[in-house]
Structure 1
């Protein structure tokens, strides 16, 4: 670089040679900025290699082993292409915000914990809260961002939290057609091996335009956007809401819930859950949060398979060896008598329904394929017509209007399916269980 970088020129510093990551989705991910290269090398960002992008989905789609590290690089690359190739030179785009949005794109998932959804559900953590702490507290990431300017970490945090004053910048990583979604749809489709998540991103990027407070799509690109919406729709139904993946997450949820309860009761673990102590006690330091990843979690599951507590041991064996719960379609609110009978029969069969019966609703998951109204926290998709008029997508597209906000909520009840084969249970009880689960 021809000498030591100073704080003054660090924000604009470029690498002597461009670095590239070979990527199966975008072919190449290009890094020219010294700041971006330094952020990728931090221990907080490297930790994302040990957090899967799709949680328990690898137990259904065996290729889904990709990480949040992969995804974060992908989001960065899409944003880089937008600001360097599409927005550059346009009067509505402020070039001084280029590095800000590149850093926010790269770091937007920094605070995710292991198996995020189940983990947050049990320990009441919030990955967005920890993302902010990583950005602003004593971390390698913070040290690099402060070299740009003292207020730069706060600005990056504001973009990720959707609080930054320029909504156009925020919309690039948090809207209904943002770089985050465009990457994970294609990446998740690639690694799960399904065909649903593919769409013409090249066309969408070509027709994106910066406008005050938002990104718009030229109306000539509406059909490419329709294809994107349909890809999302199919991915949610076929991958993100997959009932077998949900079954694995139910097991994971109950393992953590059981370990938490045993700790509360003063149970003596054979292998002390050191990494979980602060989570059990709701006194989590940032260092302790960052030390916990999916490798650590799965190691504990191996230990807990040998615990004296039969519930914890059994649940861990089920998860590690993929002996998942069975499921049936049932909404306890609409069929309370059927659900109560199922609970009664399982208890009579010797089942602890606290850990072996679970009602799951897909509308509780953190996904939505397209919501044009005010109920969505994300900016909807706007089309720009040739006369300059701006129209929300579902007002112009019959296809999107037909499905927007109308996804069917799916209810499943999960239970240990081998109960129906248990020789210690009477034939009459089995028959009643079969009837309840079949109705």
Structure 2
């Protein structure tokens, strides 16, 4: 039962290990949570292949999306005391926060790279298309779904609303840092969210933060920096991602060649063509992909079956640190040696690069330009964060990049065939900066 004001007669509460409780009082939010498109997020992990590195990282996009909603709800409670806050924007904010990741596919970003997809595009299609989500949003008005989609697309007229869900410090980032730290068991992602919310203020185009809360914002920036390098870019996770992407590449290549699968990937056909209809896309989740990987262990194609066995049983590639510019000097010889021993370098010799820019100030006209974080000074002046914080200034605008070369060490150690060639490959690889096991 609901009241005329759109509120549920009784508040619904989700128990949450990160925020303790997630509170739902609006009928709109409760009904969105119940849609099939949102429930699908229970079957998509938040951190892709990270569970192979940190065994606790089994949490889902469903968990995270509820968390982002809860942080947004708390933000709004604080911002409602501001004269610049428009109460009519409340449900747009909450719906956008809840639905911001509803378009993610299996294994999220790894899946997107292979099939050249954009989860935000799918999110907007789910919000505006023929879906249960759209039907629920339509109850708030014919233009309401478009408003929510515009927030996701960062084209919404009210830039303050956009900044609350997509900026250098927003509800999305705050939840995934805290949640991912909790489920991976690390301490890097911890920061004082309650303090940040208390010092947040509504400005015309974005949220700003009282100068007295600067140290809490500094802590958040450094927590994000540590999480990226200690968790998100962990080399073992990247090894699993490399194998995952190569499985999908191989399956698509075999499909294009007319290969007859023992288990036809019917659910993936439209994805392989890179032109899936919305209803086909929504049938995809990680259980579907993992089913095919398990079945493909028995395929006659040796590359596909081997890669699937490696992924399903965690027989990951090893890696060495590498400098791509120097690597190119030995790359042709390495590729030829791999072919000589009967190993396809396109699938078994992979350079993977990761990079992150933890914080940046405003650089007009540059690609992916970012709005800076502003501090509200006691005299009412706004000052960019790195001008006040020595800690943040030290990392501002500094992009860190890491390159690793992945390969199947187990094959190279088997000297029952091509021993000289394999010794040469190992010698070339050892010229790089040390060797590491992806374990």
TM-score by length of 1: 0.95
Q: Say yes or no: does 1:246 pair with 2:235.
A: no
Contact 1:332 1:339 in 2 (8 A): no
Residue 373, structure 1, aligned to residue 368, structure 2: no
- Describe how 1:271-286 pairs up with structure 2 within 5 A: 271-286=263-278
2:70 is aligned with 1:71: no
**Residue 204 (structure 2) aligned to one of 212, 226, 230:** 212
Aligned mate of 2:40, from 42, 47, 57: 47
Kindly indicate whether residue 392 of structure 2 is the aligned counterpart of residue 400 of structure 1. Answer: yes
1:327 to 314, 319, 341: 319
**In 1, are the aligned partners of 2:137 and 2:145 still within 8 Å (CA)?**
yes
Give the aligned partner of residue 111 of structure 1: 103
Q: Distance in 2 between matches of 1:377 and 1:116?
A: 24
Residues 1:154 and 2:149 aligned together:
no
Task: Give the secondary structure class of the aligned counterpart of 2:165.
Answer: coil
CA gap of 1:132–1:187, structure 2 versus 1, over 3 A, is: same
Determine the C-alpha separation between the residues in 2 that align with 1:249 and 1:426. 29
Residues 144 and 368 of structure 1: CA distance in aligned 2, closer, same or farther (over 3 Å): farther
Equivalent residue for 1:419, pick from 400, 406, 411: 411
Aligned-partner Cα distance in 2 for 1:47–1:337: 47
Equivalent runs, 1:339-354 vs 2, <5 Å: 339-354=331-346
What does residue 156 of structure 2 align with?
Answer: 164
SS of the counterpart of 1:172? helix
1:82 to 71, 75, 78: 75
Distance across 1 between alignment mates of 2:209 and 2:292: 48
Question: How much has 1:117 moved relative to structure 2?
Answer: 1.6
C-alpha distance in structure 2 between counterparts of 1:431 and 1:301, whole Å: 32
Between the aligned partners of 2:189 and 2:101, the Cα distance in structure 1 is: 21
Counterparts of 2:327 and 2:280, CA distance in 1: 43
Q: Is the 2:357–2:398 Cα contact (8 Å) retained in structure 1?
A: no
Residue segments in structure 1 that go unaligned for 5+ positions in a row:
none
1:304 aligns with 2:290: no
Greater CA drift, 337-346 or 301-310: 337-346
Q: Whole-Å Cα distance in 2 between the matches of residues 344 and 73 of structure 1?
A: 50
Question: How far does residue 123 in structure 1 lie from its aligned partner after superposition?
Answer: 1.4
1:221 aligned to 213, 216, 220, which one? Answer: 213
Distance 1:397 1:211 in 2: 21
User: How far off is 1:423 after superposition?
Assistant: 2.3
Residue 92 of structure 1 contacts residue 210 of structure 1 at CA under 8 Å; is this kept in 2?
A: yes
Question: C-alpha offsets along residues 402-432 of structure 1, whole Å, 9 cap, x if unaligned?
Answer: 1123242101111111123112234433332
| Aligned twin of 2:262 | 270
Q: Give 1:389 deviation, angstroms.
A: 0.9
Counterpart Cα distance in 2 of 1:333 and 1:120: 27
Range 399-408 or range 146-155, more displaced: 399-408
Q: What whole-Å deviation, never above 9, does each CA across 1:97-145 have from its counterpart, x for those lacking one?
A: 0010000000000100001222111211211111111001110000000
- 1:28 corresponding residue in structure 2: 21
List structure 1 segments (4+ residues) > 6 angstroms apart after TM superposition: none
Mapped to 2, the partners of 1:43 and 1:203 lie a distance apart of 36
CA contact (8 A) 1:260 1:280 kept: yes
- Pair 1:62 & 2:55 matched: yes
Corresponding residue of 2:168: 176
Asked if 1 retains the 8 angstrom alpha-carbon contact of 2:160 and 2:207, the reply is yes
- Residue range with higher mean Cα deviation, 117-126 or 292-301: 117-126
In structure 2, runs of 5+ residues without a counterpart are 432-439
Calculate the aligned-residue CA RMSD, in Å.
1.3
> Could you say which residue in structure 2 is the equivalent of 1:142?
134
Equivalent residue number for residue 6 of structure 2: 13
Which shows bigger deviation, 101-110 or 343-352? 343-352
Deviation at 1:202, TM superposition (A): 0.8
Separation in 2 of the partners of 1:283 and 1:241? 30
C-alpha displacement of 1:377: 4.4
Greater shift in the superposed pair: 160-169 or 274-283: 274-283
- Quote the residue 1:37 is aligned against: 30
Q: State the alpha-carbon separation in 1 of the partners of residues 52 and 394 from structure 2.
A: 33
In 2, are the aligned partners of 1:174 and 1:378 still within 8 Å (CA)? no
